[in-house]
Structure formats: structure tokens, C-alpha cells
Amino acid sequence: MRIDIITCLPKLLESPFSDSILKRAQDKKIVEVVVHDLRIYSLDKHKSTDDYAFGGGAGMVMSIEPVDRCISSLKEQLLYDEIIYMSPDGELLTQSLANQLSLKKNLIILCGHYKGVDERVREHLITREISIGDYVLSGGELAAAVLSDAVIRLIPGVLNDETSALTDSFQDGLVAPPVYTRPAEYKGWKVPDILLSGHEAKISEWRHEESVNRTKKRRPKLL
């Protein structure tokens, strides 16, 4: 998979992709993440990527021209499955959407900023709009990193057995059961006996029950 991220703040995206699982996925050549600095596509002598809103009002609006020039140049080189705009009013990111996107080959993610992007970008250049939750971030970069992480870790070969995505919360419509590690007792707080029993079938049954109970309590709408 290849993910091209378009942003006017490329530095914000350096660290999420240079550590842990996202780094390993790139080292293993399972995914290629390329961050594009929108300013490079600005024809303006100050390399600006935004302007005042028509009709007035506070806040700057991302201009269509640099975005169009960047997307067009990417599209000349590759065929993209989706051109995604990160926006608080987009479709909510769920595990099911992450699963769908993990099957795609090439994605562009445009990070919004300021008061948003010129509406004509959304009408003509974007194929999908995604929000990571009902709250407003200062820009789309952190949201793009969240989306990329949720998608990349699902691509076969990225996770090893111990971190397999199959046992993640939401993957089977349930939240994950509680987990414990050594010591078996700490300050008198004990690990459930069943987990120390070595009885695989019973442990599996217990985990399923815990998942169902937790889902009922914490995320009843999932059931």
C-alpha cells in the first residue's frame, strides 16, 4: 500500500511514522508513506496555502490551487483508490472503515487546516471525508496519523502473532477482554485464577464472556 499525505505542516507527521509498528511496516516495504509539503505547490511568492474567506469572517481558508496542483501531480504518477479529506464533519472512523481501507492499494490523505478548505476541493477533488471523532483538532495531521495507524496495522504481515489484529477490540463487534501479566499477585491484587489454570478452552470461554460483559457495560450500542 502507498499513502500520500498532503499537509502544510509536514513536521507534525514525522514522529508517528518513524517509530514502532508504522516504522516497521515501512522498513518491511509493506507500506510506503510519503508526506508532501503543500507549500511546494503554491505559486504565490510567499508560498502561502491559504487566503481570506469570501464573504468575510474570522479565519483563513485553504486555497484550492496548491491542493489541486499537488493532487494532479500525484494522479499523473499513480492510480488512487481514494482521495480522503480529514475533517470533523466527515464520516466517523470505525474499525469497519479501517478494515475496508486496509484492502486498498493507493490512498491520498489531505489534512485540513485553518477554517477548512475551499469547498470546491471537497466537491471536485476529494472522494471521501473522514473524521476521527466529534471534536475539533487544530488540523488534520494528527487525524491523518490516527487513520493511517488504524489502517496500516491491519495489512497482512505488519503485525506479528503476538500483536495480531484479530483479537483487537471491535474486530468481532466486541471490546477486548482484560489482560494481565506477571506478577500473579501485586499488593494483594490477584490475577483471575482461570488465567493461571493452563486450560485453553476454559480461558477462551472466560475471555469471550468478559468481552460480552464489557461490551454490554461500556459499549452497549455495539451489541
By the criterion CB under 6 A, which residues form the site for ligand ADE?
86-88, 112, 131-133, 135-137, 140, 143
- Given a contact cutoff of 8 angstroms between Cβ atoms, the answer to whether 80 and 137 are in contact is no
Least gap, CB of 186 to ligand ADE (angstroms): 38
Nearer to ligand ADE among residue 143 and residue 159 (C-beta): 143
* Strand 82-92 to 106-111 pairing: parallel
Question: Nearer to ligand ADE by C-beta: 139 or 170?
Answer: 139
* Identity of the residue, 100 or 204, whose beta carbon is nearer to ligand ADE in the bound complex: 100
CB of 81 to ligand ADE, least distance (A): 19
Shortest Cβ 129–ligand ADE spacing (Å): 9
Q: What whole-number distance in Å separates Cα of residue 91 and Cα of residue 94?
A: 9
Query: 33 to each of 2, 24, 100, 108, 160, how far by Cα in Å?
Result: 6, 12, 18, 10, 20
User: DSSP state, 191?
Assistant: P
* Minimum gap (Å) between residue 127 Cβ and ligand ADE: 16
Between 133 and 183, whose beta carbon lies closer to ligand ADE? 133
Looking at the DSSP bridge assignments, the partners of residue 110 are: 6, 85
Place of cell 483471575: 192
Q: Rounded to whole angstroms, how far apart are CA atoms 210 and 208?
A: 5
